[in-house]
Amino acid sequence: MEDIIDKLYNEHALTAEEYRSLLLCQDAEANAYLQQKAQQTTLARFGNAVFIRGLIEISNRCRNNCLYCGIRKSNTMVSRYSLSRETILSCCREGYALGFRTFVLQGGEDVSQTDDWITETVTCIRQEFPDCAITLSLGEKPKEAYQRFFNAGANRYLLRHETFNEKHYGNLHPSEMNQAHRLQCLQWLKDIGYQTGTGIMVGSPGQTIDHLVEDLLFIERFQPQMIGIGPFIPHADTPFADEPAGSIELTLKLLSIFRLMHPSALIPATTALASLSPDGRERGILAGANVVMPNLSPSSVREKYTLYNHKAAFGSEAAEGLQLLVKQLNGIGYQISYLRGDYN
Ligand code: 5AD
């Protein structure tokens, strides 16, 4: 197994069979070796500094009905909100004062936040914060809309493919959605010039090791600049309420594989990881993550943006969350980088 890990470390690619055996490997020493090589790769490239991205959850309205997601359209238990442009700008101001130089606008596919509205919002942020990166995570849009957001000043876009396998994708999503269109959106984003992020949920219902191998091969080909990976966590008011959560160990293992596959990728230690384990963030960083996305959303809406239950909250205020992060990072010998942290 160490030979396979060394090959991934040196060549950044494996065969499907090799990925498969790595994922199935239960040998503790081999898994520790994988993690050690991933951490070594991250340290060589980024040092002990972790980039921060201020996450602003701009809307929990969504026209989609993804079976895993707590803000799916047919969940009537959700109290819905959409942030105003002025509220979003004040979140950015607060974040900027704390040292954030990337703002991530994430939300459901909210039809009330039209393409015009999003374009204008990006324009305002770009004007007021010329030195900041603007990341959007707003789902599937027409190519022209992605282009307009980009022209207005957005730099990065996050859109997980969730699972590469078409049939599995179909089991996680309503019939109006399909994997081919998701991949089309990702290609548009890349072609337009966004730093593009994709990724998966680990342990989503029906996922097999072979599906994960397909995900690895897709990401190896697509070469996203950012890779988001977190465990699936059930939400009580979804069809997947009684499904088990994904495994932390498997999530960390995949994270390490992605790091070795793509040494310069921006890989967050996700909130989902932190939600399953109190030291999930630290474990993510030690497995090769180099990004954390603290929450800048107004406290009043935070509990309404519930994609899954038991979501970790690091204090109710942005400043509090940042202080805690500094402590967590210091505890493992790391620190925050306040740079914009573009992909290069
Ligand atoms: N568990 C874990 N992650 C989830 N997401 C959505 N619902 C869940 C869940 N129940 C993730 C998806 C989406 C991202 C914004 O949140 O991967 O792309």
Q: What is the CATH number for 238?
A: 3.20.20.70
Cβ-proximal residues to 93 (8 Å cutoff; 6+ apart), any chain: 128
Substitution candidate for ligand 1 out of 67, 307, 308, 311 with most atoms within 8 A of CB: 307
State the Cα–Cα distance between residues 187 and 198, nearest whole angstrom: 11
The verdict on residue 344 lying in a domain is no
The verdict on residue 18 lying in a domain is yes
* Helix and strand element counts for the chain (H, E): 14, 9
- Single-letter code of the amino acid located at 305: Y
Ligand 1 geometric centre to CA of 194 (Å): 22
Closest atom of ligand 1 to 69 CA is 7
pLDDT above 70: percentage of residues in the chain? 100
CB 250 within 8 A of CB 219: no
The verdict on residue 71 lying in a domain is yes
The verdict on residue 106 lying in a domain is yes
Phi, psi angles (nearest 5°) of residue 230 = -145, 160
Q: pLDDT (tens digit, 9 = 90+) per residue, 296-313?
A: 999 999 999 999 999 998
Closest atom of ligand 1 to 231 CA is 2
Domain span at 20: 2-337
CB 153 within 8 A of CB 180: no
Dihedral Cα 121, 124, 129, 130, nearest 10 deg: 110
Ligand 1 site residues, Cβ closer than 6 angstroms: 68-69, 160, 162, 201, 230, 232-233, 235, 272, 307-308
3-state secondary structure of 197: strand
DSSP string covering 300-317, please?
HHHTT--SSTT-----SS
Phi, psi angles (nearest 5°) of residue 130 = -60, -20
Ligand 1 geometric centre to CA of 55 (Å): 15
315 pLDDT band, cuts 50/70/90, is confident
Ligand 1 geometric centre to CA of 197 (Å): 14
Q: Based on the structure, what is the number of domains in the chain?
A: 1
Ligand 1 geometric centre to CA of 121 (Å): 25
Ligand 1 geometric centre to CA of 307 (Å): 6
Ligand 1 geometric centre to CA of 71 (Å): 10
Edge-first strand listing for the sheet containing 49-52: 291-292, 49-52, 335-337
Closest atom of ligand 1 to 68 CA is 10
Q: pLDDT (tens digit, 9 = 90+) per residue, 188-241?
A: 999 999 999 999 999 999 999 999 999 999 999 999 999 999 999 999 999 999
State the Cα–Cα distance between residues 127 and 147, nearest whole angstrom: 18
State the Cα–Cα distance between residues 219 and 198, nearest whole angstrom: 8
Closest atom of ligand 1 to 238 CA is 10
CB 235 within 8 A of CB 65: no
pLDDT for res 316: 84
pLDDT at 72 over 90: yes
Half-sphere exposure of 328 (CA within 13 A, CB side): 21
The verdict on residue 343 lying in a domain is no
Q: pLDDT (tens digit, 9 = 90+) per residue, 129-163?
A: 999 999 999 999 999 999 999 999 999 999 999 99
Ligand 1 geometric centre to CA of 1 (Å): 31
94 pLDDT band, cuts 50/70/90, is very high
The verdict on residue 342 lying in a domain is no
pLDDT for res 105: 98
Closest atom of ligand 1 to 158 CA is 18
Alpha helices in 25-84 (DSSP H): 28-46
The verdict on residue 236 lying in a domain is yes
pLDDT at 344 over 90: no
The verdict on residue 276 lying in a domain is yes
DSSP string covering 283-302, please?
HHHHTT--EE--B-S-HHHH
Q: By C-alpha distance, which of 107, 185, 96 is closest to 133?
A: 96
pLDDT for res 63: 98
